[in-house]
Amino acid sequence: MEGKKSIGIQSKKEEDLSKWYEEVCLKSELVEFAKVKGFMVIRPRGYSIWEKIKENFEKIINKPLGVKNAYFPILIPESFFKKESEHAEGFTPEVAWIDKELTKDSERLAIRPTSETIMYNSYSRWIRSYKDLPLKINQWCNIVRWETKATRLFLRTREFLWQEGHNVYETDEECEKETIEIIKRYKKISEDLLGIPVLVGKKSEKEKFAGAKHTYTIEAFMPDGKALQCGTSHNLGQGFAKVFGISFLGRDEKKHFPFQNSWGLSTRLIGGVVMTHSDNSGLVLPPKVAENQLVIIPLIFKGKEKEVLKKSEEVFKSLKKFNPIMDNSEDYSPGYKFSEYELKGIPLRIEIGPRDLEKGVVTLVRRDTKEKSESKIKDLQKEVPKILERIQKDLFLKAKKRMEDSIIKVKTKEEFEEGMKNKKLIKMDWCGKTVCEEKIKDETGATTRCVTFEKKKISGNCPFCSEKAIEEMYFSRSY
């Protein structure tokens, strides 16, 4: 059919990952470039993935941990922003300022790059006594960070959507415990919902959030050998509380500063899903985040149209809960339709033809493996969820194996450089020092990813500076 080629993916994942990735994002209609450089339009098919993440988030984080949603303004007065000096210094290069004189002091206003400062200004009025704690608030919003590097849809844009949670606790122990609990729940969302395996651990001093005591992270590893930081949870200690004047009357009737954390994950995850699972035919989505889990395509032959369409309609109705698409249009050939729904990442295709009907069966085709199977029509209600579950599980396991196969442990500088050349995710016992970390980045292009929670026996010296090794760190290039 004319024009059929142009809708397919022209680039190859294994040859030019970045071009292939952009093509999949655009042609599967998840997103498009906006007029203003560095911005994107998230289309309904892309936004529905974000909605699935939000739904899951409510179940895994809001409800069990007692977090409430709220909303704070997008503009932050410069004076708020500058209160915590490390925070201000860390974010200044990427803040977009508004110079309109909107306040009585003609103060400059920042478009939020994150909302700690504006939220904590409110918290200083809301928190009075230990009875007001813990305070747990999350907001879903957009943020702007004026990136100068090339735009990568979902992965690096100047504006993106995220959630940011900001909790306040009476004690350090409670705060630390929940900071870790949240990163573990992020891992669950990433792996169980999106099928993206992640390392979970602690960031280095250099890579931690500006103004935090320490930062925990989930890190995915993409097929091009780059890590993708997918979510972070920061223990802020009492630093922000002190500069924003958040204090409470304790059980001992004395004034105390509370302990705080903040935590976020963003639409970047959608990019992670696309890059992890998709192939040269287009988008592959884990069924749990697919808006339409299946497509039904009647194979219409002359003389048999009525029967096939009638049966297809019955099948469609019986599988309503999977939000199926029914494509019975006669404008395109079945082959054309197959490619189109493969491109769009519909997890399962059901083909219904006249010959199948004689036997009372249909053909099922998995999007991820393109594997075909037959099912009796009367068994579909049982068969379909089984196959969808298998797809969900297989996608995760395949990605997990790829990540595990990429990990190597190195003991020398040469092994490290060799590993970087081969796009590996490198682990190494090292000194933990920022100067050494900067040197490694300059010499090899690798950044520290995290130190995982597993107990490790550390031995020897750091291969880069010869000082005593204190922890096992993961290194790689990153997005």
Residues that bind Zn ion (CB under 5 A): 431, 436, 462, 464-465
75 φ, ψ to 5°? -100, 135
Nearer to Zn ion, 399 or 450 (CB): 450
Please, which residue, 111 or 462, has the CB nearer to Zn ion?
Answer: 462
Q: Give me the least distance between CB of 432 and Zn ion, in Å please.
A: 8
* Alpha carbon distance 430, 253 (integer Å): 46
Q: To the nearest 10°, report the CA torsion of 169, 174, 177, 178.
A: -30
- To the nearest whole angstrom, how small is the minimum distance from the Cβ of residue 478 to Zn ion? 19
Quote the DSSP letter at residue 282: B
3-class DSSP state for residue 228? strand
Cβ proximity to Zn ion, 381 vs 466, nearer residue: 466
In the complex with Zn ion, the residue whose CB is nearer, 236 or 440, is: 440
Count Cβ atoms within 10 A of the Cβ of residue 259 and give its class: 0-12 exposed, 13-18 middle, 19 or more buried: buried
Tokens of 267: 């639409």
Closest contact distance (angstroms) between CB of 244 and Zn ion is 36
What's the min distance (Å) between Cβ of 25 and Zn ion?
39
CB-based contact 396:447 (threshold 8 Å): no
The conformation of residue 462, written as its DSSP 8-state character, comes to -
Q: Toward Zn ion, which CB reaches closer, 170 or 429?
A: 429
- In the complex, the smallest distance separating the C-beta of residue 424 from Zn ion, rounded to whole angstroms, is 19
436 versus 446: smaller Cβ distance to Zn ion: 436
Closer by beta carbon to Zn ion, 346 or else 450: 450
Q: Check residue 223 and give left, alpha or beta (phi > 0: left; psi -120 to 50: alpha).
A: alpha
Which H or E element spans position 387? Answer: helix 380-406
Closer to Zn ion by Cβ: residue 157 or 448 = 448
Other Cβ atoms within 10 Å of 435 Cβ, number: 10
CB of residue 217 to Zn ion, shortest distance in Å: 21
- As given in the structure block, the two tokens for residue 126 are 């809301």
We find the least distance from the C-beta atom of residue 442 to Zn ion, in angstroms, to be 13
Provide, rounded to whole angstroms, the least separation between the CB of residue 461 and Zn ion: 8
How far CA 111 is from CA of 115, 239, 422, in Å, comes to 10, 23, 40
Q: Looking at this protein, which amino acid is placed at residue 69?
A: N
Distant-in-sequence, close-in-space partners of 267: CB < 8 Å, separation ≥ 6:
42, 50, 154, 160, 161, 162
3-state SS, residue 195: coil
Judge contact between 137 and 165, C-beta under 8 A.
yes
